[in-house]
Structure 1
Amino acid sequence: MFRPATRTSFLVLKRDLTPSLQYVKQPSTSLIFIKSISTRLISTTDSSKSTATTLGNTIQHQNHFKNENDVARLHEELLKEIPSPLLRIPHPKPVRDEFIDAKTPLTTKDLESIDIKVNLHRVPVTLADKIAFQIVKSLRIPADWFFKKKYMHRAVMLETVAAVPGMVAATLRHLRSLRKMQHDGGWIEHLLHEAENERMHLMTWMRFSQPNLWERFLVAVVQGGWYNIYFLLYLLSPKIAHRVAGYLEEDAIISYTAFLNEIDNGNIPNTKEVPDIAIEYWNLDRETATLRDVVLAVRADEAAHRDSNHHFSDRIILKREDLREDIRRIFAEAESHTTNKIAGINEAATAKWARKEKS
């Protein structure tokens, strides 16, 4: 007969093992072996050890198994049971409506017709703006020196850096939302979307170019340093951090415009070997897509991030961080066609922080 402690161990082990055993659909060596293990564990007289023993611990300690093949077979069986929330393959979506709403694949003419205001520049007005602007200008110096006119390799570095601000900002705002137990105002999803979009840029450029070992090392060092710097900057001043991101995107537009000029001048071949990832992501015309089309699409994305981050910084300055309120207002007033200003920017702010084009 079981002693009380042993009976308790049996009940605990039965409870712990049952959910795991249901993943093994057919009788197999693995199932028989699990049962043999459970029998051996149940017979222990140490109730504390029995209570703490679960299938996961048993798998981790391979000395309980006869051999490694049993472990491998068990893992294979468990991997066949994919949790239902994972039974879909998420496809990243573009950030611009022109790509999302296009009914037909986009041609070069379609891409050139997207008005991104190439020369748009937020003139630094406040001290915070000037600090942000100088930070970005100082970051451009080593990039110009190292890459010069190697625009393909420069793009890889640029996108590695550009994908950091959105993820950092989303993480910190997510944590703040949890701490304060209140809604984030609708920022987190947009920031994560921005980070994902920049990552898709990088995945695209990696298909065109294969960075050498030194460039990969440089990317790793720069990304690691930049992540921590931007993380600290966002903790200290989110408005400066978003302004930095806005100026970074302005700089990216300058770089991609120079990239386009090099293609148009014949210094960079306008190859038609465009990877599928770019064609599917931006809905490009597979028959006519070229490297130039990809640069146009990426530059259009950077313009969207430029506008978004400058707008986020403005909202922080104006203490109007809840996007939802102004979005509702815009939709409510859409029929009157009276809302042609950016949401959340009042008359005084529009005059003080107006966007001005470079002369």
Structure 2
Amino acid sequence: MFRAQLHQQGQAPQRESSADGAITQSTPVTTVPTMIRGDWVLFHPVYTPEELKAVQILHKDTKTMTDKIAYGLVKLARAGFDFVSRYKHKPLPPSHNMTLQELRNEGYLLDQNAWLNRILFLETIAGVPGMVGATLRHLQSLRLMIHTLLSESENERMHLMTFMTLRRPTPFFRALVLGAQGVFYNLLFLTYIVSPRACHRFVGYLEEEAVITYTRCIRDLEAGRIPEWENEPAPEIAIDYWRLRPDAKLLDVLYAVRSDETTHRFVNHSLADLNTTTDVNPFAFREPDMHVKGNKIGFERSESEKYVQESHDLYLQEKQKGCN
């Protein structure tokens, strides 16, 4: 067990007082920035070029009946959504002489509008699990994982806001999203009350599919199969959020989003192996880099315990430096 090993890290910093007992005040400065630069968002990783390329398509083996049910539901949902959206992504026929448009018409490839519709719908749903988990843990006063789950939900919202700069959804599309969100939120809410671990496993498998989808999109774009996006500049909101180069392209955004989904895959599979009532959130103060998250499906419980202890030791080292 590794209960509350890092409880001291949550202590508020001591405030200094002046000689007359008043709290020391810093020099007054304006609180109105000349340009918003992302300090309005929760913690999220900013990736190096090497980390962006370190992502692998991985799968968590189903060991328990809960795992099998969670994975089966994800595959069922994926199959249903693929059918409705006419998404096939079939292997290209060998030695084909088909044009790009013919490949799209036959279901081998998606055009930029089909990709965007798919991404927008997925990202509107993806923000639900983190918010559900954080809400329930807040109501139960189980603060061990709230920040991590809220960060995940907001991160998915930023994905949505980024891609919405490329296309505004129609009223019909918004109605479909609203209905899907309502059903998904309530089902997940009720399930999380019964078994948080099952929900985290479900989300872990869901994020596996997200990594696959973005990997396929990246491969198609790099292979010249989505020519409409080859020179598409990255939206300003994406450049700010992920600290991309000023001349970044949409391809850079897709790499960053895929890395985010890889983080969610890793975190949720790790949380699913914990006792979510008593165990400390191993990612409350830091996370492994993408060289770990991109090549490992998640921490086993013993690995999470070790990671918590390492975080605790690092905290004590930093605290000691501050006292010297």
The reply to whether residue 295 of structure 1 matches residue 254 of structure 2 is: yes
Where do 1:215-294 residues align within 5 Å? 215-268=173-226, 269=228, 270-287=230-247, 289-294=248-253
2:29 is equivalent to residue 115 of structure 1? no
CA distance in 2, matches of 1:293, 1:325: 26
Alpha-carbon distance change, 327 to 167 in structure 1, aligned in 2, over 3 angstroms: closer
Q: Alpha carbon RMSD of aligned pairs, Å? A: 3.1
1:345 partnered with 2:301: yes
Task: Give the paired residue count.
Answer: 235
Distance 1:239-1:261 versus aligned 2 partners, 3 A rule: same
**Equivalent residue letter for 2:185:** Y
Aligned with 1:138 (options 73, 76, 85): 76
Larger helix share, 1 or 2: 1
Structure 1 unaligned spans of 5+: 1-85, 103-109, 178-182, 331-339, 351-359
- The higher-RCO structure (CA 8 Å, 6+ apart) is 2
Amino acid at match of 1:280: D
1:109-188 counterparts in 2 under 5 A? 110=49, 113-116=52-55, 118-147=56-85, 148=87, 149=110, 150-177=114-141, 184-185=143-144, 187-188=145-146
Cα deviation for residue 217 of structure 1 reads 1.6
Cα contact 2:44–2:155 (8 A) shared by 1:
yes
State the secondary structure of the residue aligned to 2:210.
helix
Cα pair distance change 1:210/1:267, threshold 3 Å: farther
Structure 1 contact 169–191 (Cα < 8 Å) conserved: yes
- Residues 111 and 297 in structure 1, CA contact (< 8 A), matched pair in contact too: no
Per-residue deviation, 1:154: 0.6
Specify whether residues 342 and 244 from structure 1 end up closer, same or farther in structure 2 by C-alpha distance, changes over 3 A only.
closer
Give the match for residue 95 of structure 1: 44
- Distance in structure 1 (CA, Å) of the matches to 2:187 and 2:174: 20
Partners in 1 of 2:121 and 2:283 — Cα distance? 37
Letter in 1 for 2:246: R
The TM-score with structure 2 as length reference comes to 0.65
User: 2:164 aligned to 206, 213, 220, which one?
Assistant: 206
**Moved segments of 4+, more than 3 Å:** 86-90, 111-114, 324-328, 340-344
Structure 1 Cα separation of the partners of residues 198 and 267 of structure 2: 14
Retained in 2: the 8 A contact 1:160–1:202? yes
The TM-score, its normalising length taken from structure 1, stands at 0.59
Larger CA deviation: 160-169 vs 202-211: 202-211
Counterpart Cα distance in 1 of 2:158 and 2:120: 11
Unaligned runs of 5+ in 2: 1-30, 88-109, 288-295, 307-324
Of all paired residues, the percent bearing the same amino acid is 40
Confirm or deny: 8 A CA contact 1:256 1:295 kept in the other structure.
yes
Kindly provide the CA deviation profile for residues 14-44 of structure 1, in whole angstroms up to 9, marking residues without a partner as x: xxxxxxxxxxxxxxxxxxxxxxxxxxxxxxx
- 1:94 positional shift: 5.5
Q: Which has more radius of gyration?
A: 1
SS of the counterpart of 2:59? strand
AA in 2 matched with 1:230 = L
Q: Which moved more, 1:265-274 or 1:132-141?
A: 265-274
